[in-house]
Amino acid sequence: MRGPDGHGAKGLACATCHGRANNAASGVPGADGDWHLAPLAMGWEGLTPALRCAHLKDASRNGGRNGTAVIDHLKTALVAWAWQPGDDARNRPRTPPPVPYDEFLKIAELWINSGAACPEPN
Ligand code: HEC
């Protein structure tokens, strides 16, 4: 359960079980950062690429971030965890994003530094 602020249900916060690193013995993932869900305002499921892009740049939906702060966010341990997700409880490796982390950061920085253009709505 996301709870009132995305940090879990009252009395059972995400950090109750999720620590500061992946736990190889139990398969419980963790990151050196405050483990929680992205806010609902950052929900991108079902959005067109144009809308997703607009939401990513919209300070009212992205945690009040400007371009530099968006890049800083991508460098946090919690976001970077996605590329080091560890193995699950059955020792099956979790699937990282399809683009390597370094390449992802480079492309994101290029996008921000070149004006953060969005695709045309269709
Ligand atoms: C009661 C303990 C507990 C709490 C509280 C908890 N988790 Fe987990 N979580 C687990 C366990 C155990 C696993 C590993 C399950 C597995 O690998 O089969 C897991 C796995 C995950 C995964 C990886 C899923 C995957 O596909 O492998 C994510 C992401 C996650 N939790 C996020 C959260 C978030 C966000 C919260 C708070 C809103 C939260 N968890 C609260 C125990 C917990």
pLDDT tens column, 43-76: 999 999 999 999 999 999 999 999 999 999 999 9
Tell me, using a 6 A CB cutoff, whether residue 30 lines ligand 1: no
Banded model confidence at residue 108, pLDDT cuts 50, 70, 90: very high
CA dihedral 42, 40, 9, 31 (to 10 degrees): -10
* CA of residue 115 relative to chain centroid, distance: 22
Distance 28 CA to ligand 1 centre (A): 6
Evaluate whether 5 touches 38 at the Cβ level (below 8 Å): no
Determine phi and psi for 92, rounding to 5 degrees.
Answer: -90, 130
pTM for this structure? 0.90
Ligand 1 in reach of 94 Cβ (< 6 A): yes
What is the token pair recorded at 18? 């999720």
Distance in angstroms (rounded) separating the CA atoms of residues 78 and 84: 10
